[in-house]
Structure 1
Amino acid sequence: MRLLVIGGTSFVGRTIVGDALGRGHEITTFNRGLTGKDIDGVEALRGDRSTDEGVQLLAGRSFDAVIDPGGQVPAHVLRTAQAMADSAPFYAFVSTTAVYQAWNTASLDESAATWPGVPDQDGDPADLEKLRVHKRGCELAVEQTYGLDAGLVARAGSIVGPHDNLGQLPWWLTRIAEGGRMIAPGDPGRGLQLIDVRDLSAFVLDQVEAQAGGIHNVVPDGPNTTMGRLLGDCVQATGSDADPVWVDEGFLLSQGVLPWAELPLWIPDVPDTAGFWAVSGASAKAAGLRTRPFGDSVRDTWQWLRSGGEVRTAPGVPPLGLAGEKEQQVLAAWDARLSEGS
C-alpha cells in the first residue's frame, strides 16, 4: 500500500512507520522536521499543517490511506483530512481514552460519554490541559470528513515501549536501576492496563490494510499487570538491588506527592478513578488486537535505554518523576510513622 504518515519520527508514529516498512508498504511522511529524523526508506515531505498553505505540498498526491498518529489540534487534523479526502480513501487517527468524561465505572466502552469537542478548533498542541477536549475534536474532524466506515479512531490507553517520548516506564526503570530504598505507591496488587506501542502499531496497520473503520479502545481487555509486577519486572530487567517500600496512598498524598506527575502510572485507588485501569478492550480484541506479555515491554524498553535511547518529551511538557531529596524525606516520614505505630 501507499501510505501517508503524518509525523512519523517519534514514538507511536516512528513505530508505525518502521512496522509498515517491514510489511512492504511504501511510506511518505509529512512533518516539519523538528522532532526527530525520518526513518531510512521513507519519502519525507516537509510541511506544517497549521496553515492552509502548509498542506499544499500534498496536493496532487494519492495514497491508499492516511495515518495520523499524533494530532492534537482539531483544526490541524480537519485541514489534513479535508486536503486528503479526494486522494486517500481511508484515514486512521490515533486518539486516547482520555476523551472519556468519567472514570468511576469499570469496563468503560466506546459508547461512554466523551468530553465535548469542536472539529475546527485551533489551539496550542503543547496545551496538555486541553488534551482530552482537543483529542475528541480531532476525532470529530475525522468523522466529519471520512465517516466511521472509512475512518479509524484508535483510542489508545497508556502507551509503553521502546522509543518512549512520554517517560513513564523509563522513569521507573531509571530510578530502579539506581538501587536502594525507594517509594512504591499504594497496593502492589493494584491492576494496570498498559499497551505496548508495537501492539498498537500492529493493530492500526491491520485495520488500515483491511480498510476497516470504527472506534476502538486499543487497550488490553482488562489489567495486564500490577504495580507490584511492574516494579518487579523493572528490578529483574535492570538487575538492580532496589528495595521498594510500599507506602500508603493516603500518606503519600498527605506528603504532597503528586500522582502520575511525580510517581508515573500511579493513580490512587478511589471511587472516582475505579475504572481508570479497567477500560473495555473487547472491541479491539474482537477486531484482532494482540498484546504481548508486559514483562517483554519492560525488558525491551530497558534494552533501548541501555543502547542509548533517550526520552525526548514534547516542548512545554514538564519532566516526570519524584526528586531524590523529596523521596528520602517522604521515606523518613513513613519510617517515623511506622515506628510510632509499633
Structure 2
Amino acid sequence: MRILILGGSGFVGRAVAAAAVARGWDTTVFNRGRRDPVDGARVLLGDRLTPGGLTALADGTWDAVVDTWSADADAVGAAAGLLRGRAGHFSYVSSRSVYLFDESGATPPPVTEDAPLVAADDPGYAGDKLRGERAAEAFAGPLLLARAGLILGPHEDIGRLPWWLNRLHRGGPTPAPGPQDLPLQYIDARDLAEFLLDAAEAGHTGPFNLVSEPGHTTMGELLAVATEITGGHADLRWLPPEQILAAGAQPWTDLPVWLPPGPIHAFLHQGDVSRALAAGLRCRPVRETVTDTWAWLRSLPGAAPHRADRPPVGLDHEMETKLLA
C-alpha cells in the first residue's frame, strides 16, 4: 500500500505513519517540518494555511490518505479536492464531539453513528470537526470518518496522561478524583492508527465511533497502574466529586481525563462502538498504554511537546493544596 498522511509527525498522525512503516507500506507524510519525522517515511513539506502551501501534493498517487487536521475546515477541503482521483481511499480523523449533547440534563443513551450532530455553524471544536467531515467530501471517493473519543498514548501533545504520570512520579499526597469505579472510554493512538490502516485496506467508508468499549478501564485502575509504573511514590487521596466541584476544580482541565458522574460523563464514556468492533477495532490494555507513555516521557531530553492551540492542563499548586485540605 502507498499511503499519504497529512500531518504524520505529531500525535495521531505520527502513530499512523509509524504503523504504516512497520507494515512495510510506502509511507509519505506532508507537514510543515516542525517535528522529527518517523524513520522510514518520506517527507513532503508545505503549509496548508498559506497560498500555494499544497504545491508539494500537486503530483503523485496513493492507495490511501489519512488527514488529521482539526482546525479550519477549508484546509481539509482544499487537500481533499486536490487529491480527488489520485487516491483510492480517504480517512478524516474527526471526533465524537460532533454529536449533539442534550443540554436538558437527561442521561443520553449510548451514542451511535446515527445520533444527531451539532449545528454546522457551531463556533467551537465540535463545529470545526463537523465542517471538516463535510469538507472532506470534496475527495469525491471512498471516505471514512474516524470519530475518535479521548485519545491517549505515547507522543500525546495535549498533556492529559503525561500530566498525571509526571504528577504521580513526583509523589506525596495526590488528589484523586472519584469515584474509583468511574468507567472510562478512550483509545490508544496506536490502536486508532491500526484501525485506520485496516479500514483503508478493506475499503470501509462512513462514520465510525473509535474508542474502547465502555468501561475499558476505570479512574481507579488508571491511577493505580500509573502510580505503580511511575515508581509508587504517590499517596492517592480519593475525593468525592461533590468536594472537588465545591472547591472550584474544573473537570477535564484541572483534573485531566476526569468528568464527574452525570450526563456529560455518560455522553463521552458510554458511546456505542459496535460498528467499529465489527470492522476490526481492537484496544490494548490500559497498563500497556500507561507503561509505553511513561517510557516515552522518560526518553525525552526535556518537556513533552504541547500543541500551541490547546491550553495547558493539570492542577496548579493553589488548587491542589485546597483540595488536599
Query: Could you say which residue in structure 2 is the equivalent of 1:194?
Result: 186
Query: Could you say which residue in structure 2 is the equivalent of 1:231?
Result: 223
Structure 2: gaps (5+ residues) = none
Pair 226,106 (structure 1): closer, same or farther in 2 beyond 3 Å: farther
Three-state SS of the structure 2 residue aligned to 1:87 is coil
- Report the Cα offset of residue 173 of structure 1: 1.0
Instruction: Letter of the 2:233 partner, please give it.
Output: D
Provide the C-alpha distance between the structure 2 equivalents of 1:210 and 1:47, rounded to a whole number of angstroms.
30
Kept in 1: contact 2:185–2:217 (CA 8 A) = yes
- Report the Cα offset of residue 40 of structure 1: 2.4
Q: Count residues with an aligned counterpart.
A: 320
Kept in 2: contact 1:52–1:79 (CA 8 A) = no
Query: Could you say which residue in structure 2 is the equivalent of 1:115?
Result: 118
- Structure 1 residue 314 corresponds to structure 2 residue 279: no
Deviations, residues 3-49 of structure 1 (Å, cap 9, x unaligned): 11101001111111011011111111111112x11122222111122
Query: Could you say which residue in structure 2 is the equivalent of 1:13?
Result: 13
Three-state SS of the structure 1 residue aligned to 2:44 is strand
Bigger Rg over Cα: 1
Query: Could you say which residue in structure 2 is the equivalent of 1:335?
Result: none
Three-state SS of the structure 2 residue aligned to 1:137 is helix
Query: Could you say which residue in structure 2 is the equivalent of 1:145?
Result: 139
Kept in 1: contact 2:80–2:138 (CA 8 A) = no
Three-state SS of the structure 1 residue aligned to 2:144 is strand
Structure 1: gaps (5+ residues) = 122-128, 333-342
Query: Could you say which residue in structure 2 is the equivalent of 1:38?
Result: 37
Query: Could you say which residue in structure 2 is the equivalent of 1:130?
Result: 124
Query: Could you say which residue in structure 2 is the equivalent of 1:257?
Result: 249
Query: Could you say which residue in structure 1 is the equivalent of 2:28?
Result: 28
Query: Could you say which residue in structure 2 is the equivalent of 1:84?
Result: 83
Provide the C-alpha distance between the structure 2 equivalents of 1:165 and 1:272, rounded to a whole number of angstroms.
24
Which shows bigger deviation, 104-113 or 227-236?
A: 104-113
5 Å matches for 1:239-250?
Answer: 239-250=231-242
Kept in 1: contact 2:83–2:139 (CA 8 A) = no
Instruction: Letter of the 1:17 partner, please give it.
Output: A
| TM-score, with length taken from structure 2 | 0.93
Provide the C-alpha distance between the structure 2 equivalents of 1:43 and 1:322, rounded to a whole number of angstroms.
40
Instruction: Letter of the 2:134 partner, please give it.
Output: L
Provide the C-alpha distance between the structure 2 equivalents of 1:221 and 1:263, rounded to a whole number of angstroms.
22
Kept in 2: contact 1:171–1:321 (CA 8 A) = yes
Provide the C-alpha distance between the structure 2 equivalents of 1:98 and 1:80, rounded to a whole number of angstroms.
23
| TM-score, with length taken from structure 1 | 0.89
Kept in 1: contact 2:152–2:187 (CA 8 A) = yes
Provide the C-alpha distance between the structure 1 equivalents of 2:47 and 2:223, rounded to a whole number of angstroms.
40
Provide the C-alpha distance between the structure 2 equivalents of 1:300 and 1:38, rounded to a whole number of angstroms.
19
Deviations, residues 271-292 of structure 1 (Å, cap 9, x unaligned): 3442321111111000000111
- Report the Cα offset of residue 51 of structure 1: 4.4
- Report the Cα offset of residue 143 of structure 1: 3.0
5 Å matches for 1:91-110?
Answer: 91-102=90-101, 104-110=107-113
Q: Percent identity?
A: 39
Deviations, residues 76-110 of structure 1 (Å, cap 9, x unaligned): 00000000002112111111111111163141110
